[in-house]
């Protein structure tokens, strides 16, 4: 796919989802990090219910770092994988307090040193907290961009690098949020995609649309 075609997709999704933002609720940057950690194999809606309770009981980064793993696990149990998530959350908060002065790092390398933090989480922090161009390759992003023909890889890191070559950097963060909305409403995973109401069906590789060089 060409950059021109990719730009068309970016424009089209923006017109449909102009106000798309991260659906995880938070007030402090560190709270977004915790919420993302809890979202693994869990819905954002459930995470928001759990973090409301978690952050009310532990309103500061230090209080969460001082909490016991058992206390954290009991609250986050509805999110699944709660034992390992609780350990990672406590250790992440401890590291942030001890090694980073309670401030989230603003670079990929430092973020990846935090327990349980991978490139997807790090990119979300960089984009949403620091406004640094980033590509969040979650399941929606990888599924939809492959269906559209924007990329042809399923490895998250390779997908991220491929999309960085195509997307306007200053619009990449919001584009990834819009893919989440589009993936829930139209280009669904569990049922047949609703191609008849898709704003980019005219350029989608799934429909056999040819690119500018005449290749499908």
Residue position matching structure tokens 């690098």: 161
Burial of 196 (0-12, 13-18, 19+ CB in 10 A): exposed
Q: What is the dihedral of CA 200, 204, 207, 208, to 10 degrees?
A: 140
Count the Cβ atoms, other than its own, within 10 Å of residue 59.
13
Contact call for residues 96 and 61 (beta carbons, < 8 A) = yes
Longest Cα separation, the chain: 60
b/e map 74-87, b = 16+ CB within 10 Å: ebbeebeebeebbe
Burial of 129 (0-12, 13-18, 19+ CB in 10 A): middle
Q: What residues act catalytically? A: 120, 138
Count the Cβ atoms, other than its own, within 10 Å of residue 152.
12
Round to whole Å and give the CA distance between 181 and 159: 19
């Amino acid at each position: 796919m060409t950059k021109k075609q990719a730009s068309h997709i970016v424009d089209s999704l923006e017109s449909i989802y102009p106000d798309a933002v991260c659906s995880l609720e938070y007030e402090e940057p560190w709270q977004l990090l915790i919420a993302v950690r809890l979202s693994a194999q869990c819905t954002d809606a459930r995470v928001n219910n759990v973090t409301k309770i978690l952050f009310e009981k532990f309103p500061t980064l230090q209080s969460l770092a001082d909490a016991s793993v058992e206390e954290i696990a009991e609250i986050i149990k509805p999110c699944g994988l709660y034992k390992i998530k609780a350990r990672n959350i406590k250790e992440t908060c401890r590291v942030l307090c001890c090694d980073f002065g309670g401030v989230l790092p603003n670079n990929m390398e430092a973020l990846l040193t935090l327990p349980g933090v991978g490139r997807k989480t790090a990119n979300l922090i960089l984009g949403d907290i620091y406004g640094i161009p980033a590509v969040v390759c979650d399941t929606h992003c990888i599924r939809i961009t492959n269906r559209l023909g924007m990329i042809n890889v399923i490895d998250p890191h390779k997908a991220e690098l491929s999309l960085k070559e195509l997307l306007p950097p200053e619009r990449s963060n919001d584009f990834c949020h819009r893919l989440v909305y589009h993936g829930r409403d139209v280009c669904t995973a569990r049922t047949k995609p609703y191609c008849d109401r898709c704003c980019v069906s005219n350029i989608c590789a799934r429909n056999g649309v040819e690119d500018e060089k005449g290749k499908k």
